A = this chain, B = another copy of it.
Amino acid sequence: MEELRIIRLALLGIGTVGGGVYEILKRQQGEMARKLGVTVEVAKILVHNKNKKRDGIDASLLTDNWKEILEDDSIQIVVEVMGGIEPARTCILEALRAGKHVVTANKDLLADYGRELLDTAREHNCDLLFEAAVAGGIPIIRPLKQCLAGNHMTEILGIVNGTTNYILTKMTAEGMEYREALAKATELGYAEADPAADVEGYDAGRKMAIMASIAFHSRVTFSDVYTEGITGITSADIAYARELGCVIKLLGVASNTEEGIEVGVYPMLISTSHPLASVNDVFNAVFVHGDAVDDAMFMGRGAGALPTGSAVVGDIFDIARNIRAGATGRIHCTCYKELPIKAVGDMRHKYFLRLWAEDKPGVLSSIASVFGSNGVSIAQMIQRNKRGDLAELVFITDRVQGRHFQDSLTILEGLSVIKEIASVLRVHSA
């Protein structure tokens, strides 16, 4: 039998995710050799401050000197769990150029610099794995790249931000308003002090860029992703959604159409019968459609030390198996197409529009004529609430090009009988 070998790795950072990785590797110590044929051990941990007290971490592993890791040829794997663009980007590039394999959980970096990093990995025949960068512990990158490789993938729908899913769940289940639900999320540590990256959909947008690149075999960067957040959602919208048999979720939507890739993140009405509708609290889920597999969904925890650590360690173990088999660089970047990205105005969606208008004859017909002259057809309308001499009107359109809907909206906003455009949301249609 082959001799037992040890593979040494360095952790760059030992925060939440790094701590999770360290803990999991410790738990796996006993059976790693039988599982992988090799043992993986943490050789060094890069930190800012070596003297900070860290419970449960072997202090002799700490270093504040990146060169000490980079120049140590016995370290074959670098695990980047610092987050942020720099110095993470430089460290990863230098590690790859030094022939080290890299695991990263850094979605910000991948969504903007994925091509550069993956090209560098290929040049040096190194592995660069990043299962943890999308939807935390949920296996989704490897399923897309390998299990579903025989598919022409046409759609990805994702609830890929736990903070916003928690907020919307609280608003839906307990009738909270946005501010109250955000406060609750902050109190529980689900939302950061500056929640913009979550609530504006940027975090979800980065994950969608990464998944769309892999599923559609064409590079999508964060700047290609149109994002809208959830800060304008009110309990009134949620109540109307319920009446329409829907819930509101912050969905990442990526479609591989004949005319190019559509990718965006928006709060959307989605039917309660859709499997994503019952993915609640901080859980994440990714729903995909391919020409062979049809519909499939992957659900789990999108964040947290151990769930995210689970994905990182899965990648570490995969690299260890590659090293052992002499097969690193076995699967490189698979973005071999250059598909166009559709502008948001060219994307087709159903829309939900809630507005307050003067409650008098002729108003409805003015609105209808604006829609009609812009090629927007109305699938459903609800009129019920009044406030003084104003009536609340809710319209659900058929699928329409974004620019046509936007044109209607611009004209509606200029009509003197319309007092307030209260909400504009998209509606998921199968």
* Bound Cα distance A300, B36 (Å): 29
At the interface, yes or no: A340 with Cβ under 8 Å from chain B?
no
A27 to B313, CA, bound (A): 35
Stretch of A228-236, A323-331, A413-421 at the chain-chain interface: A323-331
Q: How far is the CA of A31 from the CA of B278 in the complex (A)?
A: 36
Judge whether A396 is part of the interface by a CB distance below 8 angstroms: no
Copy tally for this chain in the complex stands at 2
Contact B142–A310 (Cβ < 8 Å): no
A300 contact from B139, B295, B309, Cβ within 8 A: B295
> Is A57 located at the chain interface by the 8 A CB criterion?
no
Q: Does A47 contact B (CB under 8 A)?
A: no
Q: When the two chains form their complex, are residues A330 and B322 in contact, meaning their CB atoms are under 8 A apart?
A: yes
CB nearest to A272 among chain B residues: B278
Q: List 24 A-B contacts (CB under 8 A).
A: A24-B151, A27-B291, A31-B217, A34-B217, A34-B336, A36-B149, A138-B296, A139-B143, A139-B146, A139-B298, A142-B142, A143-B147, A146-B314, A146-B317, A150-B317, A290-B310, A291-B306, A292-B309, A293-B301, A294-B300, A294-B307, A298-B299, A322-B330, A330-B330
Q: Mark A119-161, 1 if CB is under 8 A from B, else 0.
A: 0000000000001000001110011001111111000000000
Chain B contacts for A295, CB-based, 8 A: 300-301
Asked whether A252 is an interface residue with its Cβ less than 8 Å from the other chain, the reply is no
Tell me the complex Cα distance, A148–B334, Å.
23
Q: Is A297 part of the contact surface with B, judged by Cβ < 8 Å?
A: yes
User: Cβ of A149 and Cβ of B327 under 8 Å apart?
Assistant: no
Q: Which of A31, A316, A327 has the most CB of B within 10 A?
A: A327
**Interface check A84, CB cutoff 8 A:** no
A298 and chain B: residue at smallest CB distance: B298
Known A-B contacts A217-B31, A275-B299, A309-B292; the reply to A314 vs B147 at CB < 8 A is yes
Cβ of A318 < 8 Å from any Cβ of B?
yes
Contact assessment for A317 and B142 in the assembled complex, using a CB-CB cutoff below 8 Å: no
Known contacts A317-B150, A325-B330; A294/B306 CB under 8 A: yes
List the B side residues contacting A299 at CB < 8 Å: 275, 296-299
* Residue in B138, B139, B217, B304 whose CB lies within 8 Å of A35: B217
Give 1 or 0 for each of A258-296: 1 = CB within 8 Å of chain B CB.
000000000000000001001100000000001111111
Expressed in whole angstroms, the Cα–Cα distance for A400 and B34 within the complex equals 35
A321 interfacial contact with B, CB 8 Å:
yes
A residues in contact (CB < 8 Å) with B: 20, 24-25, 27-28, 31, 34-36, 131, 137-139, 142-143, 146-152, 217, 275, 278-279, 290-301, 304, 306-307, 309-314, 316-318, 321-322, 325-327, 329-331, 334, 336
Closest to A317 in B: B149
Tell me, in angstroms, the Cα distance from A309 to B292 when the chains sit together: 7
Instruction: Give the Cβ gap from A295 to chain B, nearest Cβ, in Å.
Output: 6
* CB atoms of A327 and B322 under 8 A apart: yes
Task: Report whether A307 and B326 are in contact in the complex, using a CB–CB cutoff of 8 Å.
Answer: no
Given contacts A310-B148, A331-B321, contact A137 B336 (CB under 8 A): no
Say how far A4's CB is from chain B's closest CB, in angstroms. 14
Distance A331 CA – B143 CA, assembled complex (angstroms): 16
| Separation of A128 and B307 alpha carbons in the complex (Å) | 29
Report Cα–Cα, A322/B139, bound state, in Å: 21
Residues of chain B contacted by A314 (CB below 8 angstroms) = 146-150
Whether the Cβ atoms of A292 and B310 lie closer than 8 Å is yes
Output the residue of A20, A31, A131 with the most chain B CB within 10 A: A31
Point out the residues of chain B lying under 8 angstroms from A27, CB to CB: 152, 291-292
User: Could you say which residues of chain B place their CB within 8 Å of the CB of A321?
Assistant: 330-331
* In the complex, chain B residues whose CB is within 8 Å of the CB of A311: 147, 293
Whether A336 lies near B35 (C-beta < 8 A) is yes
